[in-house]
């Protein structure tokens, strides 16, 4: 039994066609590796942990103490514990005796200083100690991660890499050199981007996340192209089977 050149060429063309389909959607493994442009050695970092600005609808724990516990107790009614103090839509909070105070647009330490000054100026407490914490500190991770999620952060400190890890890591199709961070401050959306392949990430103002930050990981272009013109996964296998069957039938007929 003899196979002609025509049959041989036809066999190769039909057999290789499904393989070409599969190869078109492959991604360079280098693009799936973190920090692939970072050399060994020390990387200088001077990134401070940022303080989040208080926003409307934030939930705060406010504790006011002094050398006189009885005098301090009246200021802590409904202002501490798990219930917390809700920042109103007008940006203010209510402290007993002190009344309404503006809270939005400042950090926790700035608000604590404002409360401390008011207590001293009105001679309500001697050497007051004001402690404020976020009860709703959270970040959101979306896009090409294995588990898109909202992450509560009781410690009020979380890095971008920790957030990605909590979301189950990036998928193989994730675009690692252009991760998007959406941050809201003073009523404005601030957009930042981070390259996970560069050592500049360690000095980026987005290395540490703030409360209510949104992390969005985009898909690589090859994934977008594959999604918009996706070939069902059974098609290459079916074509391969048909190719083999066609070739065998051609040999038998010949």
The pLDDT confidence band at residue 7, using thresholds 50, 70 and 90, is: low
What are the structure tokens assigned to 110, written together? 């700035």
Which range is least confidently modeled, 36-50, 68-82, 129-143? 36-50
Average pLDDT over residues 168-187: 92
Would you report the helix, strand and coil content of the chain in percent, each value rounded to 5?
35, 20, 45
Residue 60 confidence class, pLDDT cut points 50, 70, 90: very high
Strand, helix or coil for residue 56: coil
- CATH entry, 59-134, from 3.40.50.300, 3.40.50.2000, 3.30.1950.10, 3.40.50.150: 3.30.1950.10
| pLDDT, position 3 | 47
Residue from 142, 148, 56, 67 nearest 102 by CA: 56
95: left (phi > 0), else alpha (psi -120 to 50), else beta?
A: beta
- The secondary structure of residue 75, as a DSSP letter, is G
207-244 residue pLDDT tens: 999 999 999 999 987 655 555 555 566 555 665 666 66
At what angle are helices 234-253 and 5-24 packed, to 10 degrees? 170
143 touches 171 (CB < 8 A): no
Residue 228: CA count within 13 A, CB half-sphere? 7
The three-state DSSP-derived secondary structure of 171-223 is CCCECCCCEEEEEEECCEEEEEEECCCCHHHHHCCCCECCCCCEEEECECHHH
- The residue among 107, 108, 118 whose CA lies nearest residue 62 is 108
In terms of pLDDT, which residue wins out, 41 or 90?
A: 90
* Right CATH for 30-45+137-219 from 3.40.50.970, 3.40.50.300, 3.40.630.10, 3.10.560.10: 3.10.560.10
Q: Residue 251 — pLDDT band, cuts 50, 70, 90?
A: low
Mean pLDDT of 145-166: 96
Beta bridge pairs of residue 215: 141, 181
| pLDDT band at residue 252 under the 50/70/90 scheme | low
pLDDT score for 121: 95
Q: How far apart are CA 179 and CA 193, in angstroms?
A: 5
> Is residue 187 over pLDDT 60?
yes
d(CA 126, CA 191): 44
Residue 75, Cα to own-chain centre: how many angstroms?
Answer: 37
Range 122-126 average pLDDT: 94
What pLDDT does 134 receive? 95
Average pLDDT over residues 196-204: 86
Q: What is the mean pLDDT of residues 63-82?
A: 82
């Amino acid at each position: 039994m003899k196979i002609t050149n025509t049959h041989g060429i036809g066999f190769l063309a039909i057999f290789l066609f499904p393989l070409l389909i599969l190869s078109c959607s492959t991604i360079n493994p280098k693009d799936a590796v973190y920090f692939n442009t970072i050399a060994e050695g020390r990387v200088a970092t001077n990134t401070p942990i940022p303080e989040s600005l208080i926003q409307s609808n934030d939930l705060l724990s406010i504790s006011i103490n002094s050398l006189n516990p009885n005098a301090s107790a009246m200021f802590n009614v409904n202002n501490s514990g798990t219930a917390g103090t809700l920042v109103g839509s007008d940006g203010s909070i209510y402290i007993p005796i002190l009344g309404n105070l503006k809270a939005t647009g400042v950090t926790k330490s700035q608000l604590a200083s404002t409360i401390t000054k008011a207590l001293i100026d009105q001679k309500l407490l001697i050497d007051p100690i004001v402690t404020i914490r976020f009860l709703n500190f959270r970040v959101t991770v979306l896009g090409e991660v294995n588990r898109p999620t909202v992450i509560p952060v009781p410690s009020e400190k979380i890095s971008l890499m920790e957030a990605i890890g909590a979301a189950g890591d990036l998928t193989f199709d994730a675009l690692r050199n252009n991760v998007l961070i959406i941050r809201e401050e003073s009523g404005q959306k601030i957009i930042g981007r981070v390259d996970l392949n560069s050592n500049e990430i360690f000095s980026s103002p987005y290395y540490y996340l703030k409360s209510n930050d949104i992390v969005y990981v985009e898909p690589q272009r090859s994934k977008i192209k594959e999604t918009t013109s996706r070939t069902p996964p059974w098609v290459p296998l079916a074509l391969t089977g048909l190719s083999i069957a066609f070739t065998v039938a051609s040999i038998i007929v010949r």
